[in-house]
Structure 1
Amino acid sequence: MFDDLIREQDVPWAASLMGLGPNGFAPVDGDESRFQAMRRLDSVDFEACPGSGKTTLLVAKLAVLAVRWPHRKQGICVLSHTNAARNEIGTKLGNSAAGLALMRYPHFVGTIHSFVNEYLALPWLRSNGLNVRCIDTQIALAKRWYELPYTTRIALERSHLTPAAMAYDGPDYTGGKVGKFGPHTPTGQLIIAARRKFSEQGYFCFDEMFVWANDLLDRRPEAAHDLRQRFPLVFIDEAQDNSEEQSALLHRIFCAGDGPVRRQRFGDSNQAIYAKPGLAGAETDPFPGAAVHPLPRSYRFSQSLADEVKGFGVTPQALVGAGPPPHIAAEPKMPAIFLFDDASVQSVLPKFGAHLVASFDAAALAAGTFTAVAGVHELDQNGRVPHAMGHYVPSYDPSCARRETAPDRFAQYLARARFETAGSGNTERLINAAAAALLAASELAGGTHGRIARKSPHRRMLDYLADSDARAHYLAFLELILSGRGEFASPDWEVNGLPLAVEIVKVLSGTAALGAAANAFLAWPPVPAQTDQEAIFARTDNLFAYPSEAPEVHIRLGSIHSVKGETHTATLVLDSYYYNHHLSELKPWLLGAKAGGSMVNNRGRQVFEGSRTLGRLKLHYVAMTRPTHLLCVAMRKDVFDAGELDILTGRGWEVIDCCAAAEPAEP
């Protein structure tokens, strides 16, 4: 049915369409992995190293299939883990008319969540008489939380429970993380009642859609058969990131039992990191499976960098460095390690900025992407230095870096929009962020207009307020947002911004007074007092400019999770703390004394590292495989002895001491 859809002569055409030239997928030095991957249409898992161009390969296959697809009522299903990955696929498919055809019926290109919503959960809920108004975890949990009596909320908080306890994992609204307050307790019954009430009103958490999808399959097993008939060929991108919940459901739909579909998964098991603490990978249908096709050649970085980072991969893989790409006219640089102590931790970013300016010319600094990332980005002020990004940059805002979770305050919507549009001059995202935040506040205040819509948040706001005096308030509010690029001092927000926002939300929600949830959402967060030394870091868009006056380079700050899948010109990996300092624990791998996630002991048995170490390895393997030209790390100086620093320099690392006393200024 599929085996002859991609022919040998199609491969050069697809490579040219992707901008790689006709030989883009041709064998290189005897390596036919990309060429053979283009031709394969059996069920297989592609184990793709960082920078192997797996998404480009996937889109090239889809472009050929779009031309040759023979079915009018059966389609190809392409599932991605994140909206960012879905958008990348959609953008690349837009390079050809055939590719655009895949974005329409009978095909599906989208996230796993959107697929589950569209084909399973939403139809099932609506068939049971539920009008789905809003799928937003933060809003659904807040509504349920504030439905509880005040004394009940206090009791839950004393048991170290948060609004997250209001999520459920059973179609009878039971389950979730409720501690001792099970369904047999009076408090547990109140929790279930609140979950039921707002679910029946149409407010759901994102992951609860999987509950209802499984409920449909339990009650109507034929639904899986129907989906297999509709989508006989399935592609899954970033498959290593799928949770057990996601993998088990997709396996149930497409693979379990008789008549499985053809399925190809793309991913890298060494990059399996998860945004939610404690979230584990798939067990029902882990990646990779039995049929594996390796893609070992990286077009991101050189062999010298590949040799430095491949030991951090939990599963040893061949890593062939075939980069860097030619878009930056610069040679690869030797890796660098920045050493600091408590007193000099805030000197790391300026030293990194100076190193970039010394390493790259003005054209490369203007065209390149420069980042600094940490494994932990929620700061505990009392934590061990460095605990998180905030110890390096006190003004760092973690909410800007969260890609897939909804902000939980109005200010965070604006902060994320500033971060995403920094330097572009584009105001559209800022306007839509303000509109989306107002809609979220109205939901918390009791609005019932819903958020399942195709129009942009701004267009929806104009529609909702078309015949209202609040429309003028909304336009004035946008002018205020744009005049300050979404930044407010707390007093300015209280005097000018908040009154307008409150009036708009009252109209949207149809209420005369906002409740506690909406007021908490609209409150502007306090800004910590800053010392003179911290003033240079006082930005709220998570961009560090160096020098502070007349900057020559801008460094984007974020968590390791926030940059997954990205390519940078230079990346600084900052040490952070979770039970211990991450990079300090990984020092043996940095020194070359260890490699991979296991070793053979003196009895000849394979012994695996502990789960925490394996998690550290995967997290920092992701971080260290982002750059094309320059990898840097920052660690405490007292972790090393002199002999170990000699080992690093012998391995080709440049050592930059941030603790060294500043040289006296020239007269």
Structure 2
Amino acid sequence: MIRPTDLITPVTDDDITWVSQLMGLRPLDRSRREFLSILATRDVSACPGSGKTTIVVAKLAILARKWTSSTQGICVLSHTNVAREEIEHRLGGSVVGKQLLAYPHFIDTIHGFVSRFLAIPWLLSAGYKISAIDDDLTTGVRRRFLGEKDYARLNFYLEKKNRSFADLRLGSAHFQTPIADGAFPDGPHTPMYQLAASALRHAAEEGYFCYDEIFVLGEALLAQQPTLPAILQQRFPFVFVDEMQDTTEQQNLFLSRLFPRDAVSVCIQRIGDPNQAIFERGIKPVADAFPDPQQCIGIADSFRLPTSIATLASPFAYVPVEPDGLIGIGGIGAPGGALPHTIFVFPDDDASMVLSAFGHHVLTTLADSTITGAAVRAVGSVHKAFDDIPPGHKHYPKTVHHYWADYQPKGNHLRHRPQTLIEYIRLAQDAAKAGAALSECVNSVAFGIGQLANLMVGATKIAARARQHLHTEQLLQSSPVALSTYRGVITRFLIDQETLTGPGWTGLSEDLKVLGLTLGGGDKAPKAADAFLAWQGVVVTPPPGDHVQPPEAIPPNCYRYSDNGRSVDILLSSIHVAKGQTHLATLILETFNRAHVLDSLMPWLLGKHSNGKKCANDTAAQRLMQIYVAMTRPTHLLCLAVRNSSLGVGATNEANRETLRLRGWRVQIL
């Protein structure tokens, strides 16, 4: 049997020096060097701000440089395409970068892997077509099949059962009986069951599937081909699973069947941070749990965090950061010591002054040169609007919305369908400036380009996808001119933030038409495409006789605080949206989910508890993890907003304030 180490020579110090120079890496400590050199199955537990994605890409570069097989490759799986984007960014112009992004290697999401190597092969072998793997499109096909009357009946029934039509899923690859046993509130012979089954059956037969349903299809292929795992292990002797903490138990079990960690034929390295598992997973043990303490490399020092923030955040790590807690090596501090990380204490029935106090604190603490272009954020665990929770209610403040009435829970998502390509680009630019993930902004532009292609050929050739940008890139690989135009749009308007002008747009329009025709596979352009491509200026109507410059547009969910001619923009969002981001300053807002989140964590703030030993259930664990994620975003300032009652009454209140000060917090009463 060929082992993974038979395919590649050992990683040497010279290899590490080479990749450090190629990527401009900082000096590497023992843990990072161990990860770069190890060619055996391992877990890597990497703290926030440790440069995890960068070090993964560095290892992939080393392996690609030493790779000799033309038929076996490296497989990199995650929940997003951050690794692929980092390779394109850091290694795109290098030989190893081009090698990694091409056959025989595979870099994609877990869903993408299961779809390509299991689900689609099974569908094709069974004689079914593949139209789209997309939740929204599939739900739409199911709804249209039922018609509005039957859909309304079924949806009303499901809502009474605390279910949702959009959550219906295939439970079997036998499409005549698509619902798994016990997965529907009523039995197979009831009218509602039959309606649901008919909708699922029709969509499947038309080739429409939801993302999670590909695992059902994959299971069908595994049942037919029990030797498939051995074949995949031979095809991919090195497997990396990034962001492992966000892997669901279903995904984990599936991957464990394909690539068991005790198999000698494959090297499996899982990378992530168990303390940032704020999606899906709880604290209950799961099969093949991450990280495996017997095979784990720990990276505990953060390039993002200064010592002062790392010290405050470390007790909130559910899994203790080994060996000595979270270490901050960011090196940011004030001339007289650490910056004043502040807890704003507000009246229980009035949170209106919190954002202004935070904005004032940022302006008085940091210089304009530091603030300009940096991310200043206010985040909370709960961000949906609750109009039935007024000030004075025992759940107040329940949500981010209670700190600022103009907050829109969906304002950070690019869901609006613009009428022109210009609007797609402007919305993406605004979202990028406001701190949205660049991948989401790029996908928004890709949606616009796809709509242009459909209009150019007069048909829906480019369907909406979760990874629209990557799909567009793949479709344009054989058309270098159109690919160059597409990448130029992304670079100019999203990365370089070039201002859109009428003359510039006119000069670009012909190239965009060629791009649309190439992408759509057509040879003529209907008039509808001209309207979509038309120049659209920013319309500003000043008051009569007033010729002053219009004020700068404020991005969605951005609270602007101004004082003495200076200002700072504070973007509000949920903690889930902020995961993976780096901020200049972060304010964590008190919100309510079964209990006030920060209030429930006062024992950790006061030093009475540490890590997850005192978390009695999943809800408590999730609160701790969410606050840990939020506390490890900022490079300079960390602030909290808590209710006055959280500190107690009278002498207890005063004593708790003093304890917080001794632990490194400044306490400001509002």
Distance in 2 (CA, whole Å) between partners of 1:12 and 1:326 is 28
Superposition deviation, residue 185 in structure 1: 2.2
In structure 2, the CA distance between the partners of 1:199 and 1:122, relative to structure 1 (3 Å rule), is same
Structure 1 contact 82–111 (Cα < 8 Å) conserved: yes
- Residue 646 (1) aligns with residue 658 (2): yes
- Residue 50 (1) aligns with residue 43 (2): no
* Structure 1: gaps spanning 5 or more residues: 486-535, 600-607, 659-667
SS class of match (1:284): coil
SS class of match (2:359): helix
SS class of match (2:314): helix
**1:314-393, aligned counterparts within 5 Å?**
314-317=318-321, 318-324=324-330, 332-341=338-347, 344-383=350-389, 384-393=395-404
Distance in 2 (CA, whole Å) between partners of 1:329 and 1:77 is 47
Match of 2:558 among 517, 535, 543: 543
Identify the residue that residue 515 of structure 1 maps to in structure 2. none
SS class of match (1:57): helix
Q: TM-score, normalised by structure 1?
A: 0.78
In structure 2, the CA distance between the partners of 1:467 and 1:301, relative to structure 1 (3 Å rule), is closer
Identify the residue that residue 626 of structure 2 maps to in structure 1. 619
Structure 1 contact 168–208 (Cα < 8 Å) conserved: yes
- Residue 216 (1) aligns with residue 221 (2): yes
Aligned residues: 580
- Residue 181 (1) aligns with residue 180 (2): no
Superposition deviation, residue 483 in structure 1: 3.5
Structure 1 contact 338–634 (Cα < 8 Å) conserved: yes
Identify the residue that residue 503 of structure 2 maps to in structure 1. none
- Residue 632 (1) aligns with residue 639 (2): yes
Identify the residue that residue 264 of structure 1 maps to in structure 2. 269
Match of 2:290 among 287, 290, 294: 287
Superposition deviation, residue 375 in structure 1: 1.0
Query: Mean alpha-carbon deviation: is it higher for 587-596 or for 78-87?
Result: 78-87
Identify the residue that residue 575 of structure 1 maps to in structure 2. 590
Superposition deviation, residue 44 in structure 1: 0.5
In structure 2, the CA distance between the partners of 1:399 and 1:223, relative to structure 1 (3 Å rule), is farther
Structure 1 contact 299–323 (Cα < 8 Å) conserved: yes
Distance in 2 (CA, whole Å) between partners of 1:280 and 1:266 is 18
Query: Mean alpha-carbon deviation: is it higher for 575-584 or for 314-323?
Result: 314-323
Distance in 2 (CA, whole Å) between partners of 1:263 and 1:202 is 33
SS class of match (1:9): helix
**1:149-201 CA deviation, whole Å, 9 max, x = no partner?**
13333333333332234222332321399652343422112101101101221
Superposition deviation, residue 326 in structure 1: 7.2
**1:501-516, aligned counterparts within 5 Å?**
none
Identify the residue that residue 70 of structure 1 maps to in structure 2. 68
In structure 2, the CA distance between the partners of 1:594 and 1:428, relative to structure 1 (3 Å rule), is closer
SS class of match (1:546): strand
Superposition deviation, residue 329 in structure 1: 11
Identify the residue that residue 202 of structure 1 maps to in structure 2. 207
Paired amino acid for 2:570 = I
In structure 2, the CA distance between the partners of 1:340 and 1:387, relative to structure 1 (3 Å rule), is same
Superposition deviation, residue 241 in structure 1: 1.0
Identify the residue that residue 553 of structure 1 maps to in structure 2. 568
Distance in 1 (CA, whole Å) between partners of 2:539 and 2:183 is 42
SS class of match (2:69): coil
Structure 2 contact 307–330 (Cα < 8 Å) conserved: no
Distance in 1 (CA, whole Å) between partners of 2:291 and 2:60 is 21
Identify the residue that residue 305 of structure 2 maps to in structure 1. 301
Distance in 1 (CA, whole Å) between partners of 2:298 and 2:248 is 22
Distance in 1 (CA, whole Å) between partners of 2:209 and 2:347 is 46
SS class of match (1:644): helix
Paired amino acid for 1:634 = A
SS class of match (1:623): helix
Distance in 2 (CA, whole Å) between partners of 1:450 and 1:440 is 9
Identify the residue that residue 134 of structure 2 maps to in structure 1. 136
In structure 2, the CA distance between the partners of 1:165 and 1:629, relative to structure 1 (3 Å rule), is closer
Structure 1 contact 401–559 (Cα < 8 Å) conserved: no
Paired amino acid for 2:669 = D
Structure 1 contact 45–266 (Cα < 8 Å) conserved: yes
In structure 2, the CA distance between the partners of 1:570 and 1:136, relative to structure 1 (3 Å rule), is same
Paired amino acid for 2:330 = P
**1:198-220 CA deviation, whole Å, 9 max, x = no partner?**
12212211111121112111211
SS class of match (1:552): strand
SS class of match (1:598): coil
**1:3-56 CA deviation, whole Å, 9 max, x = no partner?**
7331122212222223225xx11x4xxxx2222222111100011122222222
Distance in 1 (CA, whole Å) between partners of 2:251 and 2:530 is 44
**1:567-610 CA deviation, whole Å, 9 max, x = no partner?**
222111111111111111011101111111115xxxxxxxx532
Paired amino acid for 1:556 = L
Distance in 1 (CA, whole Å) between partners of 2:25 and 2:331 is 11
SS class of match (1:569): strand
Superposition deviation, residue 337 in structure 1: 0.8
In structure 2, the CA distance between the partners of 1:355 and 1:310, relative to structure 1 (3 Å rule), is same
Superposition deviation, residue 272 in structure 1: 1.1
Structure 1 contact 63–99 (Cα < 8 Å) conserved: yes
In structure 2, the CA distance between the partners of 1:58 and 1:570, relative to structure 1 (3 Å rule), is same
SS class of match (1:142): helix
Paired amino acid for 1:378 = K
SS class of match (2:351): helix
Superposition deviation, residue 391 in structure 1: 1.3
Paired amino acid for 1:358 = T
In structure 2, the CA distance between the partners of 1:327 and 1:437, relative to structure 1 (3 Å rule), is farther
Identify the residue that residue 237 of structure 2 maps to in structure 1. 232
Superposition deviation, residue 413 in structure 1: 8.5
SS class of match (2:309): helix
Distance in 2 (CA, whole Å) between partners of 1:160 and 1:337 is 39
In structure 2, the CA distance between the partners of 1:418 and 1:374, relative to structure 1 (3 Å rule), is farther
**1:480-501 CA deviation, whole Å, 9 max, x = no partner?**
5x6369xxxxxxxxxxxxxxxx
Superposition deviation, residue 370 in structure 1: 1.6
Paired amino acid for 1:623 = A
Distance in 2 (CA, whole Å) between partners of 1:561 and 1:84 is 17
Distance in 1 (CA, whole Å) between partners of 2:454 and 2:315 is 45
Paired amino acid for 2:603 = P
**1:390-431 CA deviation, whole Å, 9 max, x = no partner?**
1122232333446xxx94977998997365333799997665
Identify the residue that residue 312 of structure 1 maps to in structure 2. 316
Superposition deviation, residue 448 in structure 1: 7.8
Structure 2 contact 418–424 (Cα < 8 Å) conserved: yes
Identify the residue that residue 99 of structure 2 maps to in structure 1. 101
In structure 2, the CA distance between the partners of 1:397 and 1:115, relative to structure 1 (3 Å rule), is farther
Query: Mean alpha-carbon deviation: is it higher for 459-468 or for 97-106?
Result: 459-468
Structure 2 contact 45–272 (Cα < 8 Å) conserved: yes
Structure 1 contact 166–176 (Cα < 8 Å) conserved: no
Structure 2 contact 47–301 (Cα < 8 Å) conserved: yes
Structure 2 contact 92–98 (Cα < 8 Å) conserved: yes
Distance in 2 (CA, whole Å) between partners of 1:388 and 1:414 is 31
Structure 1 contact 79–236 (Cα < 8 Å) conserved: yes
* Structure 2: gaps spanning 5 or more residues: 390-394, 466-470, 477-485, 487-511, 541-550, 648-652
Identify the residue that residue 589 of structure 1 maps to in structure 2. 604
Match of 1:20 among 25, 33, 46: 25
**1:350-408 CA deviation, whole Å, 9 max, x = no partner?**
22111111111111011432211111122222242221111122232333446xxx949
SS class of match (1:92): helix
Superposition deviation, residue 283 in structure 1: 1.8
Identify the residue that residue 145 of structure 1 maps to in structure 2. 143
Superposition deviation, residue 225 in structure 1: 2.0
Distance in 1 (CA, whole Å) between partners of 2:114 and 2:454 is 23
Structure 2 contact 154–196 (Cα < 8 Å) conserved: no
Match of 1:193 among 182, 189, 198: 198
Query: Mean alpha-carbon deviation: is it higher for 210-219 or for 279-288?
Result: 279-288
Superposition deviation, residue 85 in structure 1: 4.7
